[in-house]
Amino acid sequence: MKALLLEQHETLSASIQDIDASQLPSGNVVVDIHWSTLNYKDALAITGKGKIIRQFPMVPGIDFSGVVHHSEDPRFHVGQAVLLTGWGVGETHWGGLAAQARVSGEWLTPLPHALSTRQAMIIGTAGFTAMLCVMALEQGGVTPESGEIAVTGASGGVGSTAITLLSQLGYSVTAISSKPDSHHYLLALGAKTVLPASDFNQPSRPLEKQRWAGVIDTVGGTILATLLAQVRYNGTVAACGMASDSQLPTSVMPFILRNIRLQGVESVTVPASKRPAIWQRLQALLPASFYQQAANEITLEQAIEHANKLINNQITGRTVVKVC
């Protein structure tokens, strides 16, 4: 079967190879993979730009959807449609950029009946993370009546889905993007306003004029620090990425003078018991138009080329990989 295999000798190599099912790592469920995706983390792994993978050889792909081929887990039966995000798959355990995966049944989520396997991966890890970020704002008390929500990295997978979800829930969304050509795309997703990332990428004062009721941030660094200084009293910021910078040059002043909350969001180890309800909510909120607007479809053979494009900020929306 076909797989994208990463190998480390003197240097990292990425290639499409034929592998045997006997090479798959341990697990009690085998899945025939229909769709996977290219996330920023996958692109870092495939290009070697980030130290994502430390065990080789490795099949990347941090999420996938498909049907059960073989199961020793009573919760799953042959032919059942399933999806997987997180749990270290594609990092420490062979992932979704292959025709099959063998994984623990604990990591699988039954596919919601109203979703196709393709739609599930247009959502994927990025959409799942976006839903968690929206929920973090809700848990922080941010409502549509609270005021504007800023979304950074807006043209990426998390940002695109977050804009759509927030818009569907009635929030007024400002999209912040470094891509001038993404303006119409972001407005079509539901953003009310689009601002350039350069407006926020200079060091700010510890406190600036109050502007945002909430923020969903995927980039970190100076942009996040500037937005923190602009968050309104009692606001909440959900931070889930560091596409720009892992450092955060801020002060305690927004937190202790404006009572704001900075909530980290991590999607890899969300308990299995909580996942079906989150996926049901994604399915219910995302309109049919989202799946046309946000999806770029490629083949497994194109994944290496597109990983380089993703690293170089040349991809808008979600990249879904048709595996078989």
Are 259 and 131 contained in the same domain? yes
251-272: b (≥16 Cβ within 10 Å) or e: eeebeeebebbbbebebeebeb
In a domain, 61, yes or no: yes
* Interatomic CA distance for residues 233 and 254, integer angstroms: 9
Strand runs labelled E in the chain:
2-8, 12-18, 29-38, 63-71, 81-85, 100-103, 109-110, 149-151, 173-177, 193-196, 212-217, 231-239, 261-264, 295-299, 318-322
- Which residue, of 246, 264, 282, is where some domain finishes? 264
| Structural domain containing residue 41 | 2-111+290-322
Of the candidates 272, 279, 301, 297, which has an alpha carbon nearest to the alpha carbon of residue 99? 301
124 phi/psi in degrees, rounded to 5? 55, -160
Greatest Cα pair distance, the chain, in angstroms, is 60
pLDDT at site 10: 82
* Interatomic CA distance for residues 19 and 58, integer angstroms: 12
Number of domains in the chain: 2
* Interatomic CA distance for residues 307 and 182, integer angstroms: 19
* Interatomic CA distance for residues 268 and 196, integer angstroms: 30
Are 105 and 139 contained in the same domain? no
* Interatomic CA distance for residues 6 and 46, integer angstroms: 7
- Which residue, of 226, 246, 264, is where some domain finishes? 264
Are 43 and 160 contained in the same domain? no
Are 177 and 61 contained in the same domain? no
pLDDT at site 129: 98
In a domain, 271, yes or no: no
- Whose tokens are 């993978």? That residue is 53
**CA separation, residue 277 to residues 105, 109, 122, 139 (Å):** 18, 10, 18, 16
pLDDT at site 324: 84
In a domain, 276, yes or no: no
Strand runs labelled E in 62-207:
63-71, 81-85, 100-103, 109-110, 149-151, 173-177, 193-196
In a domain, 254, yes or no: yes
In a domain, 226, yes or no: yes
In a domain, 258, yes or no: yes
Are 129 and 107 contained in the same domain? no
Are 221 and 300 contained in the same domain? no
* Interatomic CA distance for residues 298 and 50, integer angstroms: 23
Angle at 247 between CA 244 and CA 248, to 5 degrees: 105
The strands making up 212-217's β-sheet, listed across from edge to edge, are: 193-196, 173-177, 149-151, 212-217, 231-239, 261-264
In a domain, 60, yes or no: yes
Is the pTM higher than 0.85? yes
Residue pair 121/282 in contact (Cβ under 8 Å)? The answer is: no
Are 176 and 66 contained in the same domain? no
Are 98 and 129 contained in the same domain? no
Q: Which two tokens mark 79?
A: 């032919």
Are 99 and 135 contained in the same domain? no
Q: What is the CATH number of the domain that holds 215?
A: 3.40.50.720
- Which residue, of 218, 247, 264, is where some domain finishes? 264
Are 129 and 259 contained in the same domain? yes
In a domain, 273, yes or no: no
Q: What is the CATH number of the domain that holds 46?
A: 3.90.180.10
* SS3 of residue 312 by DSSP: coil
CB-count burial class (<10 Å; 0-12, 13-18, 19+) for 157: buried
> pLDDT per position in the chain (324 positions), as tens?
999 999 998 888 999 999 999 999 999 999 999 999 999 999 999 999 888 898 999 999 999 999 999 999 999 999 999 999 999 999 999 999 999 999 999 999 999 999 999 999 999 999 999 999 999 999 999 999 999 999 999 999 999 999 999 999 999 999 999 999 999 999 999 999 999 999 999 988 999 999 999 999 999 999 999 999 999 999 999 999 998 888 999 999 999 999 999 999 999 999 999 999 999 999 999 999 999 999 999 999 999 999 999 999 888 889 999 998
* Interatomic CA distance for residues 138 and 127, integer angstroms: 17
Are 78 and 197 contained in the same domain? no
* Interatomic CA distance for residues 241 and 250, integer angstroms: 16
pLDDT at site 317: 87
Are 105 and 193 contained in the same domain? no
* Interatomic CA distance for residues 304 and 53, integer angstroms: 16
* SS3 of residue 21 by DSSP: helix
